[in-house]
Structure 1
Amino acid sequence: MNTLIDITNLNQDLLIYLAIDISIAILLLGAMRFISGFTAKVNSTDELSKEDNFAFGISVAGSIAAMGIALSGAIMGESADSYLLEAIGMLSYGLFGLILIKIGRIVHDRIALNQINKTEQIKAHNISVGIVDAAGAIATAIIIRAVLIWVNGLNISTFVAIAAGFVVSQAMLVMVTRIKEKQYANNNQGDSMQEAFADGQTALAIRYAGQVISTALAVTAASYFLTYSSETLLTNLFGWLVFSIVMTILVSVLTTLAKKLILWGINLVEEVDQQHNIGVASVEMAISISIALILTGLMA
């Protein structure tokens, strides 16, 4: 009988913790829609319904998915000692994650894709840029989630570690974007990948989305090899960077081999870059993400 009472009390506690986490999560997810409208200086309701702006919808969907991914990292930790601390911790991680996702979008806009104005392109219903924007937000959130699971506690060192992981993630995403830009230029007589996005090349955007998301998954592998410690934060930061570079190269090599086998007989440059074949680009994206998931799963 006492055991049954203990189990009942435990279940009640878990339900309360669950209710706290879900309530805060839904609140933050809802906030992402309006924050997206605010930062773009548009009315989100009008853009989504009256204007039928699919590009804006894709961008908002990416933001909401990114927020959900980041929040899942906060929820996966141990429950706090009290309901109040649980609410504070969940809200703190959630807000910090939201801020980092928005900062990541700024970095993506001004450094990675500095030749186009993503906000204006999305306002102009450019679906390709909407896809690219959503992919960047999701990639950032994947790494934030990994760092949230990796760290322990709720203190200044924790947030410094999360910020450090964020810096590494942005550096890797910018690096991968530059590499893909160079590859695109080499394959297309010096044409600009960013201009292609601005011209609405959806197939290219889908391929790029797979590349940045697979890079983010590769970066998360560092969390399986490094033990979090506030005393060795700089060492851990360097370790994240080294592992990120090694894993990104490994994922790239394996993805290239997988594409050659799975898409045997198909000229990817001709189909995606020149003929804008969305079907082939979607397969490329699936291969990139699948290889990264399998490799990071093996590392875990």
Structure 2
Amino acid sequence: MNELMTTLEVNGSLIGYLAIDMAVAILLLGGIRYAMGVLGKVNTADELAQKDNFAYGISMAGGVAAMGIALSGAITGELAGSYEIELIGMLAYGLAGLILIKAGRYIHDKFALASFDKQALIIDRNIAVALVDAASVIATAIVVRAAIMWVEGLNVDTFIALVAVWVVSQVMLVVITRLFEWKYAKNNGMPFQTALVNNHIALGIRYSGYLISTAMSVTAASYFIIFDVDSLWMGLMQWVVISIILMVLLTILTSIAKFLVLWGINRREEVEDQQNIGIATIELATSFSIALLLMALMS
């Protein structure tokens, strides 16, 4: 505590940057609820407090967490050079992050899980779908944060790079969804999305782990590439190739880790047949841990 007070006394401008960053962050975080209400044509207060709709709360919590993750990549502090630049940067990157997160949610709904009406199911208190919705926006935010930290400057090329990385991440998330669906249908003889509609919470938790860990592996690819406007597309191609390699590596390592952590347990039967939420949560934690370790190793 004393060290913190000394730092603030020596560098008083730090307080100014902190105030700017926190003010913008809280403003945008607060805007998540109202954006969800307006876009979904839902009375958020009614869903959260009157109807006690836990599914809607989980979905909104995912959006709030996603916004916080994306904003954490926009904070530069004194590196910005002035309060004005920091304010503009936070607002620009924050709004860009909000748009990309909302767009990512749309892509996931229309291309990854297109066989049901997500909003209607969440309003109908479907916890499994709400968990998946929250995981999808968090996954998008993880990649957006990495992209914001990767790019430099504040110009048209910067935002082109952000959108391009976002596109890469959405393709990866759709691909991992198709693979997950294929494996589930092969083992159970029924569509994965049907199971979600039937509120299969354990399966939703497992799938959420896949989404978030995949996003983290895509993020790890940024550590190998230096941002250069003049060779932007080459850098993005490298990002795609490295992301695919890391996704394969993540899949192998996660499979080994799950086998060892849950030794002697039939994971397919426990999660898919018996809807064992505990086992599914352990799988999610294992996927997250391996992805985190992989990111740390690559950074």
Q: TM-score, normalised by structure 2?
A: 0.96
Q: Which residue of 1 aligns with 2:240?
A: 241
CA RMSD of aligned residues (A): 1.4
Q: Is the 8 A contact 1:132 1:205 kept in 2?
A: yes
Taking the aligned partners of 1:138 and 1:62, their CA distance within structure 2 comes to 6
For the pair 1:263 / 2:262, whether they are aligned, the reply is yes
Query: In structure 1, the residue corresponding to 2:80 is in which secondary structure?
Result: coil
For the pair 1:64 / 2:80, whether they are aligned, the reply is no
Cα offsets for 1:83-123 (capped at 9, x unmatched)? 12211110000000000000000000000001111111111
Q: Is the 8 A contact 2:14 2:78 kept in 1?
A: no
Q: Which residue of 2 aligns with 1:254?
A: 253
Q: Is the 8 A contact 1:76 1:149 kept in 2?
A: no
Equivalent runs, 1:152-191 vs 2, <5 Å: 152-189=152-189, 191=190
Equivalent runs, 1:88-127 vs 2, <5 Å: 88-127=88-127
Q: Which residue of 1 aligns with 2:203?
A: 204
Cα offsets for 1:123-147 (capped at 9, x unmatched)? 1110110000000000000001111
Equivalent runs, 1:122-137 vs 2, <5 Å: 122-137=122-137
Taking the aligned partners of 2:141 and 2:98, their CA distance within structure 1 comes to 9
CA drift of 1:10 comes to: 5.6
Q: Which residue of 2 aligns with 1:280?
A: 279
Q: Which residue of 2 aligns with 1:26?
A: 26
CA drift of 1:82 comes to: 2.0
Taking the aligned partners of 2:110 and 2:14, their CA distance within structure 1 comes to 43
For the pair 1:149 / 2:149, whether they are aligned, the reply is yes
Q: Which residue of 2 aligns with 1:54?
A: 54
Structure 1 segments unaligned to the other structure (5+ residues): 1-6
Taking the aligned partners of 2:283 and 2:183, their CA distance within structure 1 comes to 15
Cα offsets for 1:40-71 (capped at 9, x unmatched)? 21011111000111111000000000000000
CA drift of 1:268 comes to: 1.1
Query: In structure 1, the residue corresponding to 2:225 is in which secondary structure?
Result: coil
What one-letter code is carried by the residue in structure 1 that aligns with 2:60? V
Q: Which residue of 2 aligns with 1:4?
A: none
Percent identity between the two aligned chains: 54
Cα offsets for 1:192-251 (capped at 9, x unmatched)? 111111100000000001010000000011111000011111111111111111101110
Taking the aligned partners of 2:183 and 2:40, their CA distance within structure 1 comes to 31
What one-letter code is carried by the residue in structure 2 that aligns with 1:175? V
Taking the aligned partners of 2:147 and 2:181, their CA distance within structure 1 comes to 28
Taking the aligned partners of 1:112 and 1:226, their CA distance within structure 2 comes to 28
Taking the aligned partners of 1:52 and 1:38, their CA distance within structure 2 comes to 19
Q: Is the 8 A contact 1:63 1:138 kept in 2?
A: yes
Taking the aligned partners of 2:127 and 2:90, their CA distance within structure 1 comes to 33
CA drift of 1:33 comes to: 1.0
Taking the aligned partners of 1:78 and 1:194, their CA distance within structure 2 comes to 47
For the pair 1:74 / 2:74, whether they are aligned, the reply is yes
Structure 1 ranges of 4+ moved more than 3 A: 7-10, 76-79
